[in-house]
Each structure stands twice: as C-alpha cells, then as structure tokens.
Amino acid sequence: MFSRYWFRVCLTGCLLLCACRQLPVAPPKSALPADASSVKVTLTPGRQWSFKSDGVTFDTRFPRARLNECEARGNGEFSLTIRPENKPINNSAWFAFKVSAAQARQIVVRLQFAGGSLRYRPKISTDGMRWVTLPAEAFEHGPERSQCLLRLEVGPEPLWVAAQELVSRSELEAWSRSLERLPFVTRTEIGRSLLNQPLYRLDIGGSSENPGHVIIIGRQHPPETTGSMALMRFVEEIVGDSDLARSFRKEFHVLLVPLLNPDGVDHGHWRHNMNGVDLNRDWIKFAQPETRAVRDQVLALRDKGRVFLHLDFHSTHSDVFYTQPDSASSSPEGFTKQWLTALQARFPDYNVKRSSSVAPTSSTSHNWAYRTLGIPAITYEIGDNTDRALLQRIAAGAAQEMMKLLLELKK
C-alpha cells in the first residue's frame, strides 16, 4: 500500500510540475558556476492549510518555516511536499511547520522532498524552544530516500515539527543583544542583506595596547543550527568570568559575525541566500552583499595588528575540523596541531576528527582567509545528530584550549 500510494503521489507531482512550471528548469549542473545558481529564489510566504473534515490545520506563518504543499488524503493522513528555494542545491532538505487539531488525535504525515532526501531526523516541540527527536515508534522511512512517514499526536495546542531546532534570526539577535550589554562588547551594523536585514559584527575584548585578533563567523548555511549552537557556547566561554577569559580578552580582540545569511535562515532555505547563491562558495568573487560586508571588516582588521586565527562554524553529518596541513605556512607555531591535540587530550573519549588540505582555488571562507591573511583558518563542523550536551562540552573546552594556546603564542 505504501509503495502504491507514493507511486500515485510522485506521478501526480510530476504532472503538476510539468503543467504549472512554478520554477524555471535549471540548466545542467556542469553549466553552472561553482558559487551561484542561474535560477533565482522564489519567496514562499507563510500560510495556513485548514482541513475542516479532519479538524486539522497546518501553519507556516513563522520564521524558519518551510512547507510548500499540503493535501488531505483521508482517514487522518496528510501528504506534505517540501521544495528547496532553487536548484541545483546541496541536499540539506529543511522543513518546519506547526500542526494543530480541534480535538486530540493521531495523524499520519507523509513528507515528500522534491529535489532532495531526508537528512535531518524530524524533531517536535510544544513551544518552539524545547525539542525532542521523533522516536522510532513515530517515524518511518519511505520506499525512497525522498520520503518519510510521521505519526503525530496533535491537539488544540500547536505542535511544532522541524528538521532541527529553530535557532532563527530572532534567537541569534537576542543572544547578540545580551552580549552587547557586557562592558567589553560592542555591536555594529556592517551592512545589509538582500532583503535589507542588518548584518552585525560584535567586537569582544582587546583592551591591551597591541591586541591580537581572532575572527569568528557563522551561519552561512541556513539549516546548520548545530553550528550556531557550538558558536554561541564557544563565544560564551570567551566572554565568561574565568581568569583565563579575562586574560584572553585583555590580550586579544575577537571580531564576531554570528549570522551571515539572515534572509536564508528566516525563509527556511536549504542552503542559499536570496540570490540563490551558496555564501560559502562566494569568497573569491564576493558577488553577494553579505560576503562583501564581512570581507571588508576582515581586511580593515588586518591593518590594525596581527590576526591569529579565523574560525567558521558549520554543521555536517559528523564532527570534523577542516584545516590546512601542519606544513602550511599559515601555522608557523603549529597552532592547529597543538590546539586539536590539546582538545583530544582533554576529551579522550571524543574523536577529534581533522581533514587537512590546501585548495588554491577554493571559494570557501576558511580557504580565502588562509590565502589572504596567511593564518590558521578552520571550518569547525558539528554533526547534525551530535548529542547536544556533548556539543556544549566540546565547544566550551575548545574555546578554553584556544585561549590558553593563543596567550602562550602571543608572549
């Protein structure tokens, strides 16, 4: 029954796509530049789907939501289609919606990802803040990787369903404003996104006469919420009240840009900004206002003293640090090797995985920083499913070990 159902859904979807042509057909992937798509993004406004016969309502009128089509199948079953902002695109299918019912009941939701497959195990929440992963009893993979089935207990109070926790622009904004209240933190607007959202930098510490500099950036890719979680915990250790943090803030200044892609985050994008561009593939052309704004801040910082380190926080399938080899000229004091060795010694049961390369033509931020500044430049990747308590411990420990080592190197 399941396979016959999905055959009908896929056949109907194909006919609708051919008839409606809601998005233009993308040219072959080989014809596209590495950092952009020729298919522009189509905004997907928030809306409601109300099914009176079932007493069930689906809602996407909130930031980070993504649900493109919703159809009642009868007997408490619903077919939901999720589409990316444009194609071709990295397979990081993001979804988020709320569902409620007039009376408490169980419903079956069949998710279909058009142009992608399930990367994130669905999570549920009753308040949009505290989340639990949907257990095996309520979750089933479909016959294709682009399909899955959810069994949800719903009622008058909305149930939030999402690919990952909703660490949205509003949460990062509130967190940044909290940091701004500290006496050694300032916040400045450095530019605007394509939808005219402000881009902010935070400046932390650097009270000595000749401070060193560290660059931390995050959230170039909208779904990568574990990267934001790690970034926040990492920075919270730097602004903390320990002797180590106070000493570090005296000798080092941190330039922090926690959110590079506010438009993509708020609109539930899988990967891109509003121009349909992967921002972490735009660090050669700098065709996008978001990357240009950060580049200009970094280049201005270079003229104010020595820059020691560039960190870019992301999420992927498992924890990994993307670095230059120890033999690279960016690490004359062996910073990267010493830092990750210290982190491994601190957490012997945790696998500090490292992948090293030098890519002269790569358009990612950490490769640009390495080529331009001649410094250790690292992409700090957190796994999608990394235990959240472990994530917090490792990020805090990584910040502490970084501060210790940089203080030693600056002597």
For the stretch 171-199, pLDDT in tens is 999 999 999 999 999 999 999 999 999 99
Segment 366-391, tens digit of pLDDT: 999 999 999 999 999 999 999 999 99
β-strands 198-205, 252-257: how paired? antiparallel
**Domain spanning 33-162, CATH architecture:** Sandwich (2.60)
Looking at residue 1, what is its pLDDT?
40
Q: Can you name the residues that pair with 107 across neighbouring β-strands?
A: 152
pLDDT at 21 over 90: no
Reported as a single tens digit per residue, the pLDDT across 210-220 is 999 999 999 99
pLDDT of residue 395: 98
Residue 288 CA: distances (Å) to CA of 228, 232, 260, 294: 21, 25, 11, 10
Residues counted in the chain: 411
In the chain, what is the straight-line distance between the N-terminal and C-terminal CA atoms, in Å? 70
**In this structure, CATH architecture of domain 169-410:** 3-Layer(aba) Sandwich (3.40)
Confidence of residue 67 (pLDDT cuts 50, 70, 90): very high
266, two tokens: 């708020």
How is residue 384 annotated by DSSP? T
pLDDT of residue 308: 96
pTM of the model: 0.90
CA distance 63 to 49: 17
CB within 8 A of 155, min separation 6: which ones?
Answer: 100, 101, 103, 104, 105
| Residue 4 pLDDT | 41
**What mean pLDDT is predicted for residues 314-322?**
97
Separation CA 249–CA 266 (nearest Å): 32
Residue 230 has pLDDT above 60, yes or no: yes
Q: Where are the domains of the chain?
A: 33-162, 169-410
Above pLDDT 90, what percent of the chain?
Answer: 84
pLDDT exceeds cutoff 90 at 408: yes
Sign of CA dihedral 352, 353, 356, 361: negative
Q: Which residues contact 151 (CB under 8 A, 6 or more apart)?
A: 106, 107, 108, 109, 137, 138, 139, 140
Arithmetic mean of pLDDT over the chain: 91
In eight-state DSSP terms, residue 27 is P
- Summarize pLDDT for 346-370 with one digit per residue, the tens: 999 999 999 999 888 999 999 999 9
Can you tell me the mean pLDDT for 209-235?
97
Q: Which two tokens stand for residue 134?
A: 């949907």
Q: Quick check: 59 pLDDT over 90?
A: yes
pLDDT(6) > 60: no
Among 150, 85, 140, smallest CA distance to 116 is for 85
SS3 405: helix
